[in-house]
Amino acid sequence: MIRTAVIGVGNMGSRYASILQDGAVSGMELSAITRVKEKYRELLKPSLDKGVPVYERADDLFDAVKKGGIALDAVIVATPHYAHEPVAVRAFENGLHVLSDKPSGVYSRQARTMEEAADRSGKVFSMVFNQRTLPIYIKLKELVQSGKYGSVKRVNWVVTDWYRPERYYTSGAWRATWAGDGGGVLLNQCPHNLDLLQWICGNPARVQGFCKEGRFHHIEVEDDVTAYMEWDNGAEGVFITSTGEAPGVNRLEISLDEAMIVCEKGTLRIGGVEKELGCSESEYRKNSTDFFRKIKGDWSTYTPETEEHFYEKVLQGFADEIEGKGKSVADGREGRKSLLLSNAIYLSSWERRMVEVPKPGSPEEREFEKQFEEWLEKKKHAAGTV
């Protein structure tokens, strides 16, 4: 049995702890928790009554592990964003496997440091990218990467169904601050979207970001973002998100050489053109004498079953990899990719220029890290939150 501690028992941490408490993950048990917020104590009462130890801080837990006061195999990190890296690194140093909530951190160097610590330890490192378990995105990735419809031409993702009222931001002093939260809608709500974007289409090579800070709310971080993206193969894209639009939408369009795929409301609509044209689109474009034809496309619909136990699947994948039975839903090294993308969108907006998205491990990555972190410190000081 994999003895597991949940570090940071707030909204998400309490959910992970309750999943383990309920025995929903084969081979894994809840063995310790930290920082249990009062409102979640009733939820975790069965574990507390059984004597599952509660530690005030992650450091207290690790000290106990080091001194032999408690035996653990793994931790699930559900702390605020800035703490993901130091907690994960110390866990690896104590010989523990790590499952980290998203994002890996606030800045990409934190994700890199976590990876390096994982590599030194030889332990399993995974991320909670639960939306990768949803059948609709699994199918979309399969269609895009199969080559059946050719290469990606354009990506448009409008995800404005992250609506939040003013009181959401005033519910905690750390919320919507550069020093406490590390960012706004890009870092808090959109890590899953950015992960899916790079998982399905690959990371763009460069971006131009436009982040509007406090456009719809009295906050210091961004609540409205538009990002233009370019890939090395010539594909272009736009990513739009907001917490201040209603009613919001979540619509992803991917245009390929021979089809358009629209992902919205749990359904994929696939509009192929080869059957209608009788040849490839590029061949038709080259040879057609019909100047004004509107190509309608041969549309089909795919509506997958819904997945209601995505968090259980993530935890089970983590347990299976530890036991050598399978693979995690998302390797921890995936967290660095989407964080590089969000950091590049921020940096581009702050510097008002197009920014190259560095590849992990490239010579340009270290300079990019330095530039982003210098700007983040400026944002903290300008807001008076440090």
pLDDT digits (tens, 9 = 90+) for 115-126: 999 999 999 999
DSSP state of 331: B
* Fold matches, 2-129+310-330 and 132-306+338-383: no
Per-domain boundaries in the chain: 2-129+310-330, 132-306+338-383
CA atoms of 260 and 254, how far apart (whole Å): 6
In sequence order, which residues have a C-beta less than 8 Å from that of residue 250 and are 6 or more positions away?
158, 159, 160, 161, 264, 265
In sequence order, which residues have a C-beta less than 8 Å from that of residue 245 and are 6 or more positions away?
160, 163, 216
CA atoms of 221 and 183, how far apart (whole Å): 6
Closest CA relative to residue 91, chosen from 101, 71, 77, 102 = 77
- 297-305 mean pLDDT: 94
Which pLDDT band holds residue 386 (cuts at 50, 70, 90)? Answer: low
CA atoms of 344 and 362, how far apart (whole Å): 15
| CATH superfamily of this structure's domain 132-306+338-383 | Dihydrodipicolinate Reductase; domain 2 (3.30.360.10)
What is the per-residue pLDDT across 111-150, written as a single tens digit (0 to 9) for each? 999 999 999 999 999 999 999 999 999 999 999 999 999 9
Hey, what are 54's tokens?
A: 């509660």
Phi, psi of 94 (to 5 degrees): -95, 10
CATH architecture classification, 2-129+310-330: 3-Layer(aba) Sandwich (3.40)
CB 128 within 8 A of CB 314: yes
Hey, what are 202's tokens?
A: 């690959």
What is the per-residue pLDDT across 312-340, written as a single tens digit (0 to 9) for each? 999 999 999 999 999 999 999 999 999 99
Cα dist. 384→193, 216, 218, 350 in Å? Answer: 30, 21, 15, 18
CB 255 within 8 A of CB 266: no
Q: 3-state class of 288 per DSSP?
A: coil
Which pLDDT band holds residue 59 (cuts at 50, 70, 90)? Answer: very high
Q: Is the peptide bond before 247 cis (omega within 30 degrees of 0)?
A: yes
CB 319 within 8 A of CB 29: no
